[in-house]
Structure formats: structure tokens, C-alpha cells
Amino acid sequence: MDSDQALNLAYNPRLVVADHQEVMARWRIKSAQARQDSICLLDIPYGLSALEALDIFPAKESYAPTLLFIHGGYWRGSDKSEYSFIGKALQDAGITAVLINYAFVPKVSLPTIIQQIINAIIWVYQHIEEYSGNQDRLFLSGHSAGGYLATKMMMTPWQELLQLNDQNLFQACFTMSGLYDLEPLTRASFIAADLGLTSSQAQSLSVINQSILKNVLSKNVRIYAAIGNDEGQGFHEQQDLLKRHWPDALVRSFILQNCNHFTIMDELGDKDSLLFQAVLQMIGFTNDRYSIKKIK
């Protein structure tokens, strides 16, 4: 097997998971039902283009902790509407959920996508209390390419951007099957052309870039990370890189048995799963539940 074949197998989950289309079709069915069965506000614009939009599943109680979710799709596909079932599960647990869309490569560059996510987060910070959220109890999550974007947001200078007293806008971040070193993707034929990054650009944008991390890891960043046992080898290596480069920030890292790159999202939508319970733990819910109140 040549190196390109090996990279494609390591990083392209559609080559590894034979039934990925059936799994994603199940998401769409569950999500359509979730939108029908819950109060949700769809396609709220945070920018000028059609894909710069988000869906909100507001909690019943005001000032609820708020989780923002960034979907995957290798920055070139997928849609927030496929994950409404996750929004409803979070809403049912007393959490306001925000599902974020963004534009895709190669029509826009990865730095442009990063800026769109920053813009989305600024919008959420400024408006979420109109939707039962709490700007002082914000949490971030992302899957796959969205895991990269979520982790990248933990490195963003929010204190300067939003004139915050605290260095961290987010209480914590939960990344699932994430990508943290982009350099291997510049050599994988299934994504390299669309991503359009040189090796040096990929290294600069990676969240394990040491020159950037020096200014980040002193800010009490809290990261949770999960991966499926049946993921491609590349994703296991990526999780190991996160553990190696973010040791003081990584609160918890674990492997979910009998899960692959796609079915891990089913776990996030299942209130009884280990993954969902870990998210609740990150947010601060206990058996007595989180006392929802405005924190100033």
C-alpha cells in the first residue's frame, strides 16, 4: 500500500465505515422528527452568506447553560440540520443548544471558515440570552473537522475581541473524533486539493502549533476529548497528539467502544450514553441537576 492509500484509509472515514450512508440517513430521519417535536429556531443568520446561519434549541428555563456544536464534513460538506436530534437531546436535558453552519472549501479558504465561526460565536454571545441561554455559561463542542474548529476557538483571544474580564469565553470544550494536526491532510488525495493548504500553512493553522500554544495553555483552558474505538488510525493518532500537546488543558480523554467515526454522533444524541453523560459532567450537571441562574 502506498503512502497516499494509507493516508486515505487513516483519515477518510467513508472508506472505513461501509454503512456510513445508512447512519447519516438515520440522523436525517431522527433530526426531522426532533425539529417537529421541539421548540427550535432555524436558520438564524449570523453573517451575509446563506451558510452563515445557526439553529437554536432553547432550554425551557431562562439562563440555561449553552452548548455550541460545530459539525464535521471535512470543511466541505454536511449541514447543521442533520444534527437536530443532538439539539433536542441537549434541550431535553435543560441545555440551550446552538448548531452552527459555515461555508465550505474550496469555495472559501479554511481561514475564512475560522473567521465565520468566530463571527457566529460573537453573535451567540451577544444574543443568546434572548433564547434562554446564558452568556456566562457557554460551552463548545465539535465533531471531526468541527472538532478542529472548536479547539481552534479555544485559542482565540476572546478577551480582546469581546472586551471580557476573563481570558476564556468558554467554560470548556468537548471535541469528538477531532483533527488537530492538519499537515497529513495536505498529502491525502481525498481532501488535499479542496483544502488547498501548503505544508507550512497547515502547520501554522494546526492547534498543536507550539508557537501559538505558548500563549494559550496558561489560560486555564479545559478540553474534553472522545474518539470511537473503530475509527481510522489517523484519528487515534490525532487524539494522541492532543494529549501530548495539551496535557494541562485536557481534563478527560477516552475511547468509546463499539463506535466509529459516524456512530459516535448517535452517542451524543443518546441521553443514556457514556458520551452524553460526560458532556453533562463537563457542563456541571450532577444528580441534583444544575441550578439555573444568571451568573454575573
The third-level CATH classification (topology) of the domain covering 3-283 is Rossmann fold (3.40.50)
The CB density around residue 259, as the number of other CB atoms within 10 Å, is 23
Mean pLDDT of 238-243: 96
The residue-averaged pLDDT of 199-209 equals: 94
Q: Tell whether the model's pLDDT for residue 278 goes beyond 90.
A: yes
What whole-number distance in Å separates Cα of residue 277 and Cα of residue 190?
34
Q: pLDDT class for 244, splitting at 50, 70, 90?
A: very high
**What's the pLDDT tens digit per position in 63-74?**
999 999 999 999
Tell the burial category of 10 from Cβ atoms under 10 Å away from its Cβ (0-12, 13-18, 19+). Answer: buried
pLDDT digits (tens, 9 = 90+) for 145-198: 999 999 999 999 898 899 888 778 999 999 999 999 999 999 999 999 999 999
Q: What is the pLDDT of residue 218?
A: 54
Q: Give the model's pLDDT for residue 290.
A: 40
Indicate the pLDDT class of residue 215, thresholds 50, 70 and 90.
low
Instruction: State the pLDDT at residue 2.
Output: 55
Average pLDDT of the chain to the nearest whole number: 92
Closest by CA to 186, choosing from 168, 198, 203, is 198
d(CA 268, CA 68): 13
How do 172-176 and 223-228 pair as beta strands? parallel
pLDDT category at 296 given cuts 50, 70, 90 is: very low
Q: How confident is the model at residue 214 (pLDDT cuts 50, 70, 90)?
A: low
pLDDT of 209? 84
User: How does pLDDT run across 89-148, given as a tens digit for each residue?
Assistant: 999 999 999 999 999 999 999 999 999 999 999 999 999 999 999 999 999 999 999 999
**Residue 245 pLDDT more than 50?**
yes
pLDDT interval class at 291 (50, 70, 90): very low
pTM score, two decimals?
A: 0.94
CA–CA separation, 51 and 70 (whole Å) = 13
CA distance 12 to 74: 9
